[in-house]
A and B are shown apart, each in its own frame.
Chain A
Amino acid sequence: MFGLIGHSTSFESARNLARSLGFEEYAEGDLDMWCSAPPQLVERISVTSPTGKRIEGAYIDSVFVPEMLSRFKTAKRKVLNAMELAQKTGIDITALGGFTSIIFEDFKLLREQQVRATTLDWTRFTTGNTHTAWVLCRQVEDNAPKLGIDLRRAKVAVVGATGDIGSAICRWLSQRTGVQELLLVARRPQPLADLQQELGGGRILPLEDALAEADVVVWVASLAQASNIDPSQLPRPCLMVDGGYPKNLDTRAAGDGIHVLKGGIVEFGSDIGWQMMEAAEMAKPQRQMFACFAEAMLLEFEGLHTNFSWGRNNITLEKMDLIGAASLRHGFQSLGLEVAAPIPSLSTT
C-alpha cells in the first residue's frame, strides 16, 4: 500500500476542503483548534497502471496549514503524527508532500524517531525528490524546443542549485542533456563552490545576473519574501519552470515571450477518482499531482518498499533513470506548456 501525506495550501482552503469532505465541525474551527487536531486519513485510493497492475493507497491530511509555520512545535508535531498514522495504518511507502518534507528536513526530525509507542521506520517514507528532479529535467527537455530554444546552445539557470532537487537537476542537465552552460544560483557560497567542483563546470551568478542571461530558468528555491523580477531584463524567449514549493511564480504573469510552466507536476493517463488534488489547486485534479506523490505510487507499482529519496544530495542519475522509466511505464506524463495570455509584468508572489 502507498501513502501520501499532504496538507492544504492555506487555512481558508483547508476549512473549505473540510466542509466539502463532510468534516463540518473542523470547517467551523479556528486555527488554534486545528493546531490541536490529529492527522486524518481522509481518502483511500486505487490506481491501475497501463501495465494492468493495480495498487491501493491512502491520503493522509496532516492537518498542517502554512499558517502554522511560525509555530515550530506545532509544525513538527503535525509532520510526526501524520507519519506515525501512516505507519500505524500499515502503509509500506509514503511520500511526504508539500511542506511535510521541508519541515522534516529543516527541523531535523530524523532525531525524533520515537512517536509515542511507535518507532518510525524511515524506510517506509520517501521525499519523492528523485521523481520531482527527473520530471523537472524532462519538462525542460520537452518544452524548451517547443519555444525554439536549442538546449545545446542554451544557458540554463538553476535557482536553488545546491538543494537536494536542484543539485540533481544540475547533474542531469550537465551530464545527460548537454546544455551549453549551467548558471548556478544559490544563497550560500560554499555549497555552490562544492557543486561547481562536483559538476566540473557551471557558472556561479547572483540571481539578477543569471536571469539576464538565461534562456531557461528552473526554480527550485522557495522564496521567503516576494521578490520582483524585471521582465524587461529577461531574454526572449524564456522558459521558466517553477518547481518550488509553494509555486512562487505566477503563471498568469507569463507572456511576451516568457513562458511559465508549473514544475514537478505529472498527469496520470486516466482519472484517479480522488478528491484530494482539488485541494492542491491542480488544473486537472483528477489526473494531476505532485511528482513526489507519484513517486510513492511508482515505488508501490515496482514493489520498491524503501526510502528511495531520503536525506540530502543522495539523488544519483541512476536513480533518476530508474524512477523515470517507471514513471513512463506506469502512465505518468510531465506537465507541458499551455498557451498563456500575455500580461506585461512578471512577479513572484
Chain B
Amino acid sequence: MPTVATTTSVDSSLDPVGPTEGSDLPDFSTDAYKDAYSRINAIVIEGEQEAHDNYMSLGTLLPDQAEELARLARMELKHMKGFTACGNNLGVTADMPFAQEFFSPLRNNFQAALKEGKVVTCLLIQALLIEAFAISAYHIYIPVADPFARKITEGVVKDEYTHLNYGQEWLKAHLEESRAELEQANRDNLPHVRRMLERVAADAAVLHMEKEDLIEDFLIAYQDALTDIGFTPREIARMAAAALMG
C-alpha cells in the first residue's frame, strides 16, 4: 500500500499520547505528595498573608485608596484561610519557615520601597508580580488539584484578577511619571520571580504542575497587565526577558 503520509502528521511524535496526557490527577495520599504539598501550601498561605500585609501598607502610601486597599487585603485573608483548610484536608502541615524565607527577597524589596514611599515599586511587586505569579500557579494547579482544593482555588482565582486589575488601573493612570521606576523595579524584582519558580519547580512537578507551564502562564498574565498599562509589545518582551533569562 502507499507509504506517504496523507494526514498532515509530519512526525510520529505528533500523534497525541492521549487526551489526558499530563493532566492525570496525582495520588494525593502519598508521602511524596504530602511532603511537596507542605511547601507549596505554605507558599500559598504565606503569599496570601503577605498580600494582605502589603495592601494594608499600600494604604498608608495612598490614603485616599486606603478603604479599597483594606477591602483587597481582607480578601487575601479569606484566601489564606481557604488554603489553610486545603492543607488540613489532606492532613498536611504547611512548612511556614520555608515559605517565609522563600518570599524574603520580594518582601525585603517591598519593605525597602515602602520606606522610601515608592508606590510604583510597591504596586509592581504586589499587584503585578505576586498577583500574576499567584494567578498562573492557581491556573496550572486547578486541573490537578484534589476536589476540595480545586473548588477553593477556583473561587480565589477570580478574586486575584480583580487585584491584578487594581494595580493595572493605578499604573495605567500614572504611566508617564511611573515608567522609569516601573522598568527599574521590573529589573530588580523579576529575576526573583524567576528564581522562585525555579526553586518551587521540583515540588510543583510532584503536584503535576510543570515549570514551563508556570513560567509561560506567569508571563502571559504579566504581559497582559503591562499591555493594559500601556507598554508596547517590544518594551514588554524586553521587560519579560528578565524572567526568562534570569
Q: A residues near B, CB below 8 A? A: 21-26, 28-29, 32-33, 35-38, 40-42, 69-70, 72-74, 77, 81, 84-85, 88, 99, 101-103, 105-108, 111, 116-117, 159-164, 166, 185-189, 191-192, 204-207, 221-224, 227, 245-246
The 7 A-B residue pairs whose C-beta atoms are closest, nearest first, are A25-B241, A186-B6, A36-B215, A222-B10, A102-B8, A70-B13, A160-B6
Which of the residues A42, A72, A103 comes within 8 Å of B17, measured between beta carbons? A72
Instruction: Sample 9 A-B pairs with CB under 8 A, ordered by A number.
Output: A21-B234, A38-B216, A73-B21, A77-B212, A77-B213, A116-B217, A207-B4, A222-B8, A227-B4
The smallest beta-carbon distance between B242 and chain A, in angstroms, is 8
Q: Which residues of A contact B108 (CB under 8 A)?
A: none
Q: Which residue of B lies closest to A21 (CB)?
A: B234
Q: Which B residues touch A223, using CB under 8 A?
A: 4-5, 10
In the complex where A25-B245, A36-B219 touch, is A159 in contact with B4 (Cβ < 8 A)?
yes
Q: Which residues of A contact B161 (CB under 8 A)?
A: 117
Given the complex of chains A and B, what is the CA–CA distance between A22 and B26 in angstroms?
42
Residues in A whose Cβ lies below 8 Å from that of B245: 25, 28-29, 33
In the bound complex, residues from chain A placing their C-beta under 8 Å from that of B233 are 40-42
Contact A221 B3 (CB under 8 A): no
| Nearest-Cβ distance from residue A60 to partner chain B, whole angstroms | 10
Complex alpha-carbon distance, A180 and B13, angstroms:
38
Beyond contacts A69-B11, A69-B13, A224-B9: 9 other A-B pairs, Cβ-Cβ < 8 A, are: A25-B244, A32-B212, A33-B245, A73-B213, A84-B220, A106-B14, A106-B15, A192-B2, A221-B4
Question: When chains A and B are docked, how far (Å) is the Cα of A111 from the Cα of B10?
Answer: 21
Instruction: Report the separation of the CA atoms of residues A340 and B245 in the bound assembly, to the nearest whole angstrom.
Output: 45
B155 at the interface (CB under 8 A from A): no
B241 CB → nearest A CB, Å: 3
Question: Nearest chain B CB to A132's CB is how many angstroms away?
Answer: 12
Instruction: State the Cβ distance, A160 to closest chain B Cβ, in Å.
Output: 4
B21 to chain A, nearest CB (A): 7
Give the residues in chain A near B224, CB-CB below 8 Å.
88
CA of A38 to CA of B224, assembled, Å: 10
Task: Identify which of A22, A99, A108 contacts B234 (C-beta below 8 A).
Answer: A22
Q: In the complex, which residues of chain B have a beta carbon less than 8 angstroms from the beta carbon of A77?
A: 212-213, 216
| Residues in chain B near residue A99, CB distance under 8 A | 10
Q: Closest Cβ of chain A: how far from B142's Cβ, in Å?
A: 10
What range describes how many residues of B lie at the interface? 35 or more
Taking the closest CB of chain A, its distance from the CB of B140, in whole angstroms, is: 10
DSSP class of B's interface residues: helix, strand, loop or mixed? helix
Q: Is the CB of B237 within 8 A of A103?
A: no
Q: CB < 8 Å: which of A40, A102, A106, A206 contacts B2?
A: A206
Chain A residues, Cβ within 8 Å of B2 = 185-187, 192, 204-207
B17 to chain A, nearest CB (A): 6
CB distance from A191 to the nearest CB of B (A): 7
Tell whether A35 pairs with B212 under 8 Å between CB atoms, given A25-B237, A81-B220, A116-B139: yes
Given contact pairs A40-B237, A106-B15, A224-B10, A74 touches B21 in the complex (Cβ within 8 A): no
Asked if A106 and B8 sit within 8 Å, CB to CB, the answer is yes
Q: Given the complex, which residues of B lie within 8 Å of A187, measured CB to CB? A: 1-7
Answer whether residue B63 sits at the interface, using C-beta atoms and an 8 A cutoff: no
Residue B145 is within 8 A (CB to CB) of chain A in the complex: no
Task: State how many angstroms separate the Cβ of A284 from the closest Cβ of chain B.
Answer: 26
**B146 in contact (CB, < 8 A):** no
Contact in complex: B13, A26 (CB < 8 Å): no
Contact present for A105 and B19 (CB under 8 Å)? no
Question: Are A29 and B244 also in contact (CB < 8 A) when A38-B223, A103-B14, A117-B161 are?
Answer: yes
Answer yes or no: B81 CB below 8 A from chain A CBs. no
- Cβ-defined partner of B241 (8 Å) among A21, A29, A188: A29
Instruction: Tell me if A222 and B9 are in contact (CB < 8 A).
Output: yes
Q: Which residues of B contact A74 (CB under 8 A)?
A: 212
Interface presence of B210 (CB below 8 A): yes
Interface centre among B1, B7, B14 (most CB of A within 10 A): B7
Asked if B216 contacts A37 (CB within 8 A), the reply is yes
Measured CB to CB, the nearest residue on chain A to B213 is: A77
Are A38 and B6 touching (Cβ within 8 A)? no
By a CB distance below 8 angstroms, the chain A residues around B58 are none
**CB closest chain-A residue, reference B219:** A38
**A26 → chain B closest CB, angstroms:** 6
Cross-chain contact B19 with A221 (CB below 8 angstroms)? no
Q: Which of B193-220 contact A (CB under 8 A)?
A: 210-213, 215-217, 219-220
Q: CB within 8 Å of A: which of B48-76?
A: none
Q: How far is the CA of A70 from the CA of B16 in the complex (A)?
A: 10
The residue of chain B having its C-beta at the shortest distance from the C-beta of A32 within the complex is B212
Partner of A26, one of B16, B17, B213, B241: B241
A191: contacting residue among B6, B10, B22, CB under 8 A:
B6
Please, how many angstroms separate the alpha-carbon atoms of A106 and B16 in the complex?
A: 7
Question: Across the two chains, which residue of chain B brings its CB closest to A18?
Answer: B237
Chain B proximity of A5: nearest CB distance (Å):
15
Chain B positions within 8 Å of A204 at CB level: 2
Q: How close is A29's CB to chain B, nearest CB, in angstroms?
A: 6
Q: Is B12 an interface residue (CB 8 A)?
A: yes
The answer to whether A166 and B6 touch across the interface, beta carbons within 8 angstroms, is yes
- Among A102, A111, A192, residue most surrounded by chain B Cβ atoms (within 10 Å): A102
Q: What is the CB-to-nearest-CB distance from B39 to chain A, in angstroms, rounded to a whole number?
A: 22
Least Cβ distance of B75 to chain A in Å? Answer: 18
CB distance from A338 to the nearest CB of B (A): 26
In the assembled complex, the CB of B239 is this many whole angstroms from the nearest CB of chain A, namely: 9
